[in-house]
Structure 1
Amino acid sequence: MIRLFAPCPKFIPLLAVFIVSCSLPLAISDDTDTDREALLCFKSQISDPKGSLSSWSNTSQNFCNWQGVSCNNTQTQLRVIALNVSSKGLSGSIPPCIGNLSSIASLDLSRNAFLGKIPSELRRLRQISYLNLSINSLEGRIPDELSSCSNLKVLGLSNNSLQGEIPQSLTQCTHLQQVILYNNKLEGSIPTGFGTLPELKTLDLSNNALRGGIPPLLGSSSSFVYVDLGGNQLTGGIPEFLANSSSLQVLRLTQNSLTGEIPPALFNSSTLTTIYLDRLIPDSIGNLAQLTEFHLDGNNFNGSIPSNLGQWRQLEKLDLSHNSFSGSLPSEVFNISSLSQSLDLSHNLFAGPIPLEIGNLINLGSISISNNRLTGEIPSTLGNCVLLEYLHMEGNLLTGSIPQSFMNLKSIKKLDLSRNSLSGKVPELLTLLSSLQKLNLSFNDFEGPIPSNGVFGNASRVILDGNYRLCANDPGYSLPLCSELGSQSKHKSTILKIVIPIAVSVVISLLCLMAVLIKRRKQKPSLQQSSVNMRKISYEDIAKATDEFSPTNLVGLGSFGAVYKGMLPFETNPVAIKVFDLNKYGAPTSFNAECEALRYIRHRNLVKIITLCSTIDPNGYDFKALVFQYMPNGSLEMWLHPEDHGHGKKRFLTLGERISLALDIAYALDYLHNQCVSPLIHCDIKPSNVLLDLEMTAYVSDFGLARFMSANSTAAPGNSTSLADLKGSIGYIAPEYGMGGQISMKGDVYSYGVLLLEILTGKRPTDEKFNDGLSLHDRVDAAFPHRVTEILDPNMLHNDLDGGNSELMQSCVLPLVKVALMCSMASPKDRLGMAQVSTELHSIKQAFLELSSGGKVV
């Protein structure tokens, strides 16, 4: 007989406790194993060329010690709470199994090369508060499922290729504090709900393709500190609500299509410290008590600066450069005693004298008033600015001498007074400035001997070109030695006594001879005769300098002649002599055009003309030649395609050199387009017309097709605009020229864009690979941005991006490619202006220098 026993009621609670206590370790173990398997799954589905995740192994049970993995501190249960594998060179698609780390609070996969879509499985990360997938190559839409991450505080998806609209559902994550989505391809409108998030401090949606207006509700947030909506296609005005924000400190709205007036409340904010605006400028800018930075640079503002700008008493940085502001420099600006970082009024149309009040800026570190139309003398009050480190006054019409008060500028590191009409002796006081690292006095009218101490002890730190009455005691300078000039001056009176009588006696003969020559010339030589005062040179001088035009001295062939290397008796360095073949159609016109252009232009990145020769050769034929500064490193063409010029072993250009060269060329074109009295269109920008000196500085050359522009933005009289005369170069010539379009600055921009693409890819626009109807621009555009490495010059990648340096790629290479594509657009109206290009490339170069020196670009 079998007896069944029912459990005693008093043992039931003990039994339950026993069952639970036995099953708990099993559950804990399951969760731990799930995290471990999720990490191994993640590793198995991605590429790790650097071996950054080598510590992640099946044989290693304690995954909390793996690279980038952080766990909780409890002994009872090991769970992954953070994963940081930023900047590890990882690539491939983000594995969906990452969603199995259910306890993770922080996930950072930024600065890698992940591609594909953001996995929707991230919705399982219910504990996550920090998600950073920035600076990768992700594409597709932002998943709606991210709204399930209700604890999310920081969402970083910037610098990818994400498309579609920003999900409205993101506003369900009510704890969001930072939304950083800049540099993508997002479209649609800005979700209105962002303005209702109670903790949102940072909203950066810049550099996308967002449309529509700025939601009025955006300004209802009481927590906003930083808002950047720049670089989109937003329309309408700035909502009053946004202007009334009680917490906003930084507002950036540049590069949109905003219209209307700026709400007055914006300029009465008690919290704003930095404002970036464009296309809008208020009549009254109010009293922003907390404003520390104000940026209006790189726009097209004109008129005068509002006088009450001087009311901003906390302002530390003011940048109004690269606009068209005119009138006199407002003295109110120089009364802002709080200015301590920088004041930049360069590249405008300011005229008249520099106010004496400039000496009030005693705390300022940098002043730039360059490239305006300022006249008069440099005020001595500038010597009060004893903390100045950078002073730029180049490209004006200043006269007089360097003030003695400059001896007080003990902190000055860079002083640029070039391209003015300053005169007198170079003062010895400059030798007392022990911090001075770079001094540019070029293209003025200084005279006499230069000092030999201080900064002048190193010729590489001083630029004195274009001062034809200077001499040096040191042969290291490209100046005549002072002993020679002194010897000449001793005999000056004797020479005059001889020359004057002879001149009187032969004047009639000279006039007759000139009449005969004019008849034989058939063309008026007025252009070359009216050029800058230069040393006369004969046919015999050139023939001797080139060893009778020996092929061994031939350095290049052009459309209208040949270029020889030679030595002239009055030059200490070799020169380049461009001899025109006047039998070629257009060669005389090209010579005249080049003379006309070179007589008006002076810039550090334009080839320097030394003299010219227009005479008759021994056979009675016309002879024309131009003598230039010789460039020992040849042309950019030779460096981009060395194998085609017999230089297969020549070293290749690094990324840093390519950035610097591109910036040099941009500066030159910006000068020609925007800083000449009459804008000059080069019409033939290509690698063979860019020459490189010993320090790899780029110089734009060959102005044989150049055209001055008149006030109505067409070619100036006497400069033909017909395409029969305008040859240009196939592959670089703007497409509108082929359809009868007028010559314009945007044509040069197109050529520059193609040139920049060639610098980055190493491929000519006429390469046989482009015979399928797709241009170099089309190929690069198709690969931009996530496949851009496929079309870049492999030599550049090997030299500078070895190992997948994602920071260089994101901060330097991709922005460079973007500028090149925007310059080489088919439609002229879609292209950038050279002033904006110069600004963009300057920023790219600064980012490169910071990264190269170990700094971090944010």
Structure 2
Amino acid sequence: MTDTLGILSSWNESLHFCHWPGITCGRRHQRVTVLDLQSSRLAGHLSPHIGNLSFLRILRLQNNSFSHTIPPEIGRLFRLERLILYNNSFGGHIPFNISRCCNLQYLRLYGNTLSGEPPTEIASLSKLQELDFGRNNFYGKIPPSFGNLSSLQVLSASGNNLHGGIPNSLGQLRSLVFFSLGENYLNGTIPPFIYNLSSIKVIYIPQNNLHGTLPPGLGHTIFPHLEIFVFHANQFTGPVPASISNASNLLLFSIAGNKFTGKVPSLARLSNLNWLDLQENNLGNNEEGGLDFVSSLLNCTNLEVLSVGVNNFGGVLPESISNLSTKLRSINFLDNQIRGNIPIGVGNLINVERLGFSANLLAGTIPSSIGKLNKLYELFLNSNELSGSVPSSLGNLTSLSTLLLQSNQLQGNIPQSLGGCRFMLYLDLSHNNLSGPIPKQVVNLLVELDLSRNKLTESIPMEVGNLQHLVFLDVSENKLSSEIPQSLGSCTSLRSLYLSGNSLQGTIPKSLSSLRGIEECDLSHNNLSGIIPNYLESFPFLQNLNLSFNDFEGAVPIQGVFKNASAVSVVGNTRLCGGIPHLRLPKCISTQAKRGLSPKLNLIISVSCGVVGLVLVLLLALLYRSRKARALKSTSGSSLGVSLLKLSYGDLLKATDGFSASNLIGAGSFGSVYKGILNQHEERNVAVKVLNLQTSRASRSFISECETLKSIRHRNLVKLLTACSSIDFQGNDFKALVYEFMVNGSLDEWLHISAEGVDRPTNLPKNLNLTQRVNIAIDVACALDYLHNCSHMPKVHCDIKPNNILLNSDMTACVGDFGLARYLRDASCPSPLHDSSSNVIKGTIGYTPPEYGMGGEVSTYGDVYSYGILLLEMLTGKRPTDDMFNGGMDLHNFVMMALPEHVREICDPLLVQIVESSSSTNPRSNRGNHAQNDQRKRVVECLTSIARVGVACSVAMPRERKDMSNVVAELSLIRDVLTGTRTPRECP
């Protein structure tokens, strides 16, 4: 076992085992009767010798990190009464001989990775009172024989892959108190026998495919002791039984996501009710008095959640809502047919965090009393018929992150006080009658801002440039004037920009060229003029561009988005010409032709001007080159000349000998990398990454890498020298990135040199020793720590793997290939706001975290997982895609199973060979033998510690992974131990 807290440090012969922590012995025979090591941060496997504790009655190992299988020797413990193993990582099957534990009363196995069909042998445990195997990977049907467990009080199998129906035999469990089968694939109806379980307090069967109706005696004659009733996300129909009001002990009632109809009965007797969730049904039938039950909730003084959204409730919103429990945290009346006004007394609900009345028929004004709800972070009042002004008191809601007031009849100015909502991320005031200017105080931390379809005047405030995380901006259909602010170019995260239907004038600012991630842009129906900027051609993600009904002039570009006539609109600009034929614009006429000159004369003038111009250019170039050469001589040793290189396609073609296969040093998803030699000033080796623009998302990769590397600097990040975006000699688009050449290649070549047969320079070692591997691991960790925690905006690399770790001449590791890198939108949030494009990011198989494969968003946790796998690969020499990893075995589990005693056995054999040879001393000297043993012990301690770090970084749950700053600290301590500057006891 791995004992990180040292709880087992006193388990030795100096103390009688009955006095060891976690051990309880019987008084008579001094034999172990209780082994309790819960919540001790233990890991490893449970020894089969556990079966020798024949007097054991209680085994508690919950809330640890045990893995492997549950040893079948457990079946020897015939005196065992409690087997508590929940919240670990036990895998495999429940031992079939568990039936031999004939005195077993409590079997708690939830929160592991157990699989297989639930063993029918459990049914023979006649004394079993609690059976909980939820949150595992069990499949198949619920064994009907479980109905024979006559003493059973708790049956929980939620969160598995069970299918089929609920066996009728479970109706025999007359002592059942807790019944949980939620989040499976069960179907059919609930057998009538279930309703004979009169002792039941908790019935939890959500997220299945069950159907039927609820019995009329529910909560009265059927479940008189009912406390928790959760049936949401099924297919139940019919009314809510009026008898539910008699379940006076009821705490939680959730039937959301079904097809219930009719009125909700009075719930006045449910004085203990804490949670009421009726949303997403067909309740109410759009009748008057449909919300009468709300007044009956006045006696529910402990109510915290009230959710009745997405139903057919009609009638007037009751005033009594103001007098509901002050413990209410969430109120949801969304998407109904509710009329009337929002009561002023809603401000009495001082603990409300989420208030939702959107998509109803509410009228009147927004009560200023809402400004008293200091804990409110989401307010949804959109899509109603509200009028009056936006209350300035909303600026008091300092925790507010979302304010949706769109599609009402609000008027007046936008209050400047909204600037007090300093954590506001989403503000939507669109489709109202608001007027006046856009207050500069409002634009502070927004991610989405929609003020469209109002009567706003004056200009777009320059302060909009402060919204560096802004993704969506819509101020269309207003009365805004003046020019598009230059500062808008600072909103580099912007993807949707809508400025149409205003009176904006002037040209499209050059600063907007920095909006490389823009996907939709609508500038139509304004008074904009000038030429259409050519930089719009190079926007790789631009899908819709509307420039219609302005006063643009000159030639329409023909590349990028302009290639697609359905993606571009330029109608209503009478002075435009050119473009692709589908736009049906007139051809552009030269200036000379406009002056009436003949074509022949035009040609003569053009050629003459061209010759003169060429001569002048050549003379200026020679003069510039001469001065440049002198300047270079005077600044010998400076890297300025290289860092400002501007390279053409021809330069790179020459540098790589025509992109010769002999210079190919790597290939990836988006292109190939060639070694090149630049000759402009002095020979310098570079790496040229040529993008394969026929590959999906290659252009996005090019932009991502440029945007990332231009704003970050770190000794452990590959240095980008320049970029080239041009056309080749055949007229095709060409994009390339030029990096500093890393003479020692990639980490992958070094880790797998024996298998790959890569030729290395003769003066280099054949493999990496342990110190080199630790140094490389620290270098990569430092780079990720910088990206995650130290740069001005956190970044996620998204593709950490050995091929992307490059080694320079002194074996310093540098992280490269930022083609999939993503910025995180808000570094101030405890949980990062992730890039919404993450659903297209796949990374590399074996290194991609499991949450990405399930549609999870990109986060720094993903990089930590990839790093953990990388670290384990450096330790074992095995790729995560090795053929040995199949079924439930992967690199993470392979190393975790070896901890702590067998780590040396799973290490890279070449690494072990180097360790052995480097630690050898004179075998004839006692002092030498002692030193050798100390060295080996120190090395084994370090190998074990490295394995622990790798395993901790690659756990399945993202938030359980380490932060990279902690990884740097721990690996640095390991290096100190390895080099002898710190003792093993200090090693993490």
Normalised-by-shorter TM-score class: 0.5 to 0.7
Q: Is the 8 A contact 1:310 1:332 kept in 2?
A: no
Q: Which moved more, 1:225-234 or 1:215-224?
A: 215-224
The question of 1:270 aligning with 2:232 is answered no
Q: Deviations over 1:400-445 (max 9, x none)?
A: 42125547x5675445135446553343555788xx6336434544
Q: 2:365 is matched with which residue: 396, 401, 418?
A: 401
Aligned partners of 2:355 and 2:376 also within 8 Å: no
Q: Cα deviations across residues 576-613 of structure 1 (Å, max 9, x unaligned)?
A: x99642999x96x6336999xxxxxxxxxxxxxxxx99
Q: Is the 8 A contact 1:401 1:423 kept in 2?
A: yes
Would you say the 8 A contact 1:347–1:372 is kept in 2? Answer: yes
- Which ranges in structure 2 are unaligned for 5 or more consecutive residues? 450-454, 460-496, 523-527, 550-568, 584-702, 721-781, 797-818, 844-850, 870-879, 897-944, 962-988
Partner of 2:509: 542
Cα RMSD over matched residues?
A: 5.7
Structure 2 matches for 1:740-755, cutoff 5 A?
A: 753-754=854-855
Q: Which of 272, 277, 287 is 1:319 aligned to? A: 277
Question: For each residue in 1:427-465, what CA deviation from the matched residue of structure 2 results, as whole angstroms up to 9, or x when unmatched?
Answer: 3555788xx63364345446436375xx96563369655
Equivalence for 2:808: none
1:281 equivalent among 227, 237, 242: 237
**Alignment partner of 1:392 is 2:355:** yes
1:29 equivalent in structure 2: none
CA deviations 1:701-729 (Å, max 9, x no partner) are 799xxxxxxxxxxxxxxxxxxxxxxxx97
Gap change, CA 1:393 and 1:221, over 3 Å in 2: same
C-alpha contact 2:75 2:100 (8 A) present in aligned 1? yes
Letter of the 1:332 counterpart: D
Deviations 1:505-532 (A, max 9, x none): xxxxxxxxxxxxxxxxxxxxxxxxx977
Contact 1:225–1:249, Cα closer than 8 Å, also in 2: yes
Q: Distance in 1 between matches of 2:46 and 2:284?
A: 54
Moved more, 641-650 or 115-124: 641-650
For residues 138-157 of structure 1, the aligned pairs below 5 Å read 138-157=90-109
Cα-to-partner distance string for 1:226-261 (whole Å, 9 max, x where unaligned): 100112233332122211211101111222332444
Q: Which of residues 430, 434, 459 is equivalent to 2:422?
A: 459
Q: Distance in 2 between matches of 1:79 and 1:416?
A: 62
| Partner Cα distance (1:561, 1:464) in 2 | 19
Query: 795, 811, 825: which is aligned to 1:692?
Result: 825
Matched, 1:363 2:363: no
Relative to structure 1, the CA distance from residue 556 to residue 432 in structure 2 (aligned partners, 3 Å threshold; closer, same or farther) is closer
SS at match of 1:556: coil
Q: Distance in 1 between matches of 2:200 and 2:4?
A: 44
| Residues 335-393 of structure 1 deviation map (CA, whole Å, 9 limit, x = unaligned) | 33244333443662557665225526521513432652556564226438545523422
Paired residues of 1:761 and 1:791 also in contact (CA < 8 A):
no
Q: 1:53 matched to which residue of 2?
A: 8
| Displacement after TM superposition at 1:758 (Å) | 8.6
SS of residue matched to 1:355: coil
Conserved in 2, the CA contact under 8 Å of 1:322 and 1:348?
yes
Aligned letter for 1:313? L
What is the SS of the residue equivalent to 1:402? coil
- Structure 1 residue 221 and structure 2 residue 221: aligned? no
Q: Distance in 1 between matches of 2:827 and 2:579?
A: 34
Q: Distance in 2 between matches of 1:242 and 1:635?
A: 58
* Mapped pair 1:424 → 2:388: yes
> Structure 2 residue aligned with 1:332, among 270, 289, 292?
292
What is aligned with 1:847?
none
Aligned pair 1:581/2:546, yes or no?
Answer: no
**Deviation digits for residues 744-771 of structure 1 (CA, Å, limit 9, x no counterpart):** xxxxxx999456489764499xx9xxxx
1:448 and 2:413 equivalent?
Answer: yes
Q: Are the aligned partners of 2:57 and 2:81 in contact in 1 as well (CA < 8 Å)?
A: yes
Match for residue 124 of structure 2 among 154, 172, 194? 172
Q: Distance in 2 between matches of 1:90 and 1:613?
A: 67
CA distance in 1 between counterparts of 2:69 and 2:214 reads 39
Pair 474,60 (structure 1): closer, same or farther in 2 beyond 3 Å: same
Match of 1:692, SS?
coil
Structure-2 residue corresponding to 1:292: 251
Match of 1:18 in 2: none
Is the CA contact 2:129–2:153 (under 8 Å) kept in the aligned structure 1?
yes
Larger mean CA deviation between 266-275 and 345-354 belongs to 345-354
Amino acid in the other structure paired with 1:425: S
Summarize the Cα distance change of 1:220–1:753 in structure 2 as closer, same or farther, 3 Å threshold: closer
Pick the structure with greater CA Rg: 2
* Counterpart in the other structure of 2:400: 438
CA distance in 2 between counterparts of 1:660 and 1:231 reads: 35
SS of 2:224's equivalent in the other structure is coil
- In 1, distance between residues paired with 2:521 and 2:414? 37
Report the identity percentage: 22
Residue 99 of structure 1 aligns to a residue whose secondary structure is: helix
The question of whether the paired residues in 1 share the 8 Å contact of 2:368 and 2:394 is answered with no
Contact 1:376 1:400 in 2 (8 A): no
| Aligned 1:87-98 pairs, distance under 5 A | 87-98=39-50
Counterpart among 331, 348, 351 of residue 310 in structure 2: 348
Supply the distance in 1 between the matched residues of 2:11 and 2:254 (Cα, whole angstroms): 48
Alpha-carbon distance between aligned partners in 1 of 2:787 and 2:705, rounded to the nearest angstrom: 11
Q: Is the 8 Å Cα contact of residues 214 and 240 (structure 2) preserved in structure 1? A: no
* Structure 1 spans left out of the alignment, 5+ residues: 1-45, 490-529, 564-569, 571-576, 596-611, 625-633, 662-685, 704-727, 733-749, 768-775, 793-797, 815-858
Please show how residues 4-153 of structure 1 align to structure 2 within 5 Å: 46-48=1-3, 50-57=5-12, 59-72=13-26, 74=27, 77-153=29-105
Deviation (angstroms), 1:286: 3.6
Please give the per-residue CA displacement for 1:34-55, whole angstroms capped at 9, x wherever unaligned.
xxxxxxxxxxxx3445544222
Distance in 2, matches of 1:155 and 1:702, equals 44
- 1:379 is aligned to 342
Change (3 A) 1:459 1:410: closer
Please say if 1:307 is aligned against 2:261: no
In the TM superposition, 1:527-538 aligns within 5 A as 535-538=502-505
Q: Is the 8 A contact 1:292 1:317 kept in 2?
A: yes
Q: 8 Å contact 1:218–1:242 — kept in the other structure?
A: yes
TM-score normalised by the chain length of structure 2: 0.49
Q: Secondary structure at the match of 1:308?
A: coil
Q: 2-side partners of 1:304 and 1:166: how far apart?
A: 37
Matches within 5 A, 1:228-243: 228-243=180-195
CA distance in 2, matches of 1:693, 1:119: 47
What is the match of residue 516 of structure 2?
Answer: 556
* Separation (CA, whole Å) in 2 of partners of 1:660 and 1:649: 9
CA distance in 2, matches of 1:231, 1:207: 5
- Aligned residue type for 2:107: L
- Aligned positions of 1:708-747 closer than 5 A: none
Which whole-Å CA distance do the structure 1 matches of 2:958 and 2:284 have between them?
A: 34
* Closer, same or farther: CA 591–653 of 1 in aligned 2, 3 Å: same
| Higher RCO (C-alpha 8 Å, min separation 6) | 1
Identify if the C-alpha distance between structure 1 residues 220 and 466 changes in structure 2 by more than 3 Å, giving closer, same or farther: same
1:835 corresponding residue in structure 2: none
Query: Per-residue deviation at 1:180?
Result: 0.9
Q: Is the 8 A contact 2:708 2:821 kept in 1?
A: no
